[in-house]
Structure 1
Amino acid sequence: MDQSLFHWAGNLRFLRKRKNLTQQQLSDATGIKKGRLAAQESGKTKNPRMEDQVRISTYFNITIDHLIKTSLSDLTAEQLYEMETTSSLDITGRHIRVLPITVNTDNEENMEFVPVKAQAGYRRGFNDPEFIANLPKFTLPGLPREKTIRMFPVSGDSMLPIPDGSHVIAQYVDDWSLIKQDMPCVVILKEEDDILFKMVDNTMKHDGTLRLHSLNPAFKPFRVNANEVLEIWKFIGYVSREMPAIAS
C-alpha cells in the first residue's frame, strides 16, 4: 500500500463506525458510491480519488493530512475532539479572521501600502491592527473608495510583462468561492514570507486547492492547499517605474 495513504482505510472505517453509520448511509451523506467506499475501507483501493478525500475530510471535519498520516483510533477522545474543532476546510475564507482596517478623518477606509521593508513582517502582522495602522497610506484617482484596497511589492519576472519591482494594487477578496479561472491575485500564505502574485484557478471544491500559475511560461504552475492561505487580493492595477516589455 502507498505509505502516504497507509491510514486511510482504517481511519475511514473508524470514523464511519464512530458515527454509527452504515456504508450506504455514508454514501448517501457524501455522494461517494457505496462500492468505492467499501473498496477504500478494505484497502483494495490504494489511491482514493482526490474528490473522495475532500468529501470525507469535509464530512468528518478532519484534514486530509490527518486522515492519511495519523491513526485516529490511537488518539484519546480529547485529542480527536481538538483535531475535529481545528480542522475545518473553509473554501470561502470568511471564517479565517476579521480583516483589520483603518479609516481617515472622513471615516473612509484607508488604502495601505506594504513597502518592501514591511513585506517579510506582513504574514505575522496581517491581523494586527497596530501593524496595519503603521503601514503607509496611499491614494490614486479612479480606485473604488468603498472597497478594501492595498498595494503590494512584487519581485521577479514570473508575471512579465509586469516588470520586476512593480507594485500591485489589489482588492481584498472576502469570499474565495468567487475566484474564477485565470484571476490575477496576490496570495498571502501562512508559511511563506514572500507575497505571491499569480494567476489563480479555483479548484477548492474539487480538491481543496488553488492552482497558481505565471504569465511567464518559463515558470511551472503549482498548487496550494486552501488551509495554507491567509489572504487573497484581486488585481486591479499596478505601478511601475519601468516601461512594459515590447513583444518582438
Structure 2
Amino acid sequence: HQFAENLSRLKKEHGLKNHQIAELLNVQTRTVAYYMSGETKPDIEKLIRLATYFHLSIDELVGYVQEDKVWNDLSLKQWLLSLNLRSEEEIAKIKILVDTVETLYPN
C-alpha cells in the first residue's frame, strides 16, 4: 500500500483534487480513489505520467527502496553511529556523500 500512501501524500502536498489527477491520467475520478485506497494500481503508462508530473522516479513513487551496498556495511554503520550525528541533516549529508562515492566507483 506504499503507492497508495505516497499518492495521497503527494496529492495533499500539491493541493490537488482527485479529478485533477484523473484528468492527468485520463481515467475516471473514482479510479483515482481506488488507487489511493489501494484497491487497484495504475499501469506502467500511468505510473510514468505520475512520476513525471511529481518529478520522482517510479521507484520513489511506488515506495521501492533499494538498499545501498555500502550503506548496509555493518562497520560503516558502526562508524557513523560513533560520530554521534545528532541531526537528520547531518545524516542526510553523509548519505549523499556515500551515494556519490558509490556512483563514481561502482563495484
Query: Could you tell me the TM-score, scaled by structure 1's length?
Result: 0.25
Cα pair 1:23 1:34 within 8 Å, conserved: yes
Q: CA deviation at 1:70?
A: 5.5
Q: Secondary structure at the match of 2:16?
A: coil
Partner of 2:16: 21
Equivalent position to 1:49, from 43, 53, 65: 43
Q: Superposed, which structure 2 residues align to 1:66-215 within 5 Å?
A: 66-69=60-63
Rounded to whole Å, the distance in 2 between the matches of 1:59 and 1:30 is 10
Rounded to whole Å, the distance in 2 between the matches of 1:50 and 1:33 is 17
Equivalent position to 1:35, from 30, 35, 42: 30
Comparing both structures, which one devotes a greater share of its residues to strand? 1
RMSD across aligned C-alpha pairs, in angstroms?
Answer: 2.7
One-letter amino acid matched to 1:61: H
Q: What is the count of residue pairs matched by the alignment?
A: 69
Rounded to whole Å, the distance in 2 between the matches of 1:20 and 1:52 is 20
Which structure 1 residue ranges, 4+ long, deviate > 3 Å from structure 2?
none
Q: CA deviation at 1:32?
A: 3.4
| Structure 2 unaligned spans of 5+ | 66-88, 93-103
1:61 aligns with 2:51: no
One-letter amino acid matched to 1:50: I
Give the number of the structure with larger relative contact order, counting CA–CA contacts within 8 Å between residues 6 or more apart. Answer: 2
Rounded to whole Å, the distance in 2 between the matches of 1:34 and 1:62 is 22
Rounded to whole Å, the distance in 2 between the matches of 1:14 and 1:66 is 13
Q: For residues 204-231 of structure 1, what are the alpha-carbon distances to aligned partners after superposition, in whole Å with 9 as ceiling and x for unaligned?
A: xxxxxxxxxxxxxxxxxxxxxxxxxxxx
Larger radius of gyration: 1
Rounded to whole Å, the distance in 1 between the matches of 2:42 and 2:23 is 18
Query: Could you tell me the TM-score, scaled by structure 2's length?
Result: 0.54
Q: CA deviation at 1:20?
A: 0.8
| Structure 1 unaligned spans of 5+ | 1-5, 80-123, 125-190, 192-248
Cα pair 1:23 1:37 within 8 Å, conserved: yes
Rounded to whole Å, the distance in 2 between the matches of 1:32 and 1:60 is 18
Cα pair 1:30 1:59 within 8 Å, conserved: no
Comparing both structures, which one devotes a greater share of its residues to helix? 2
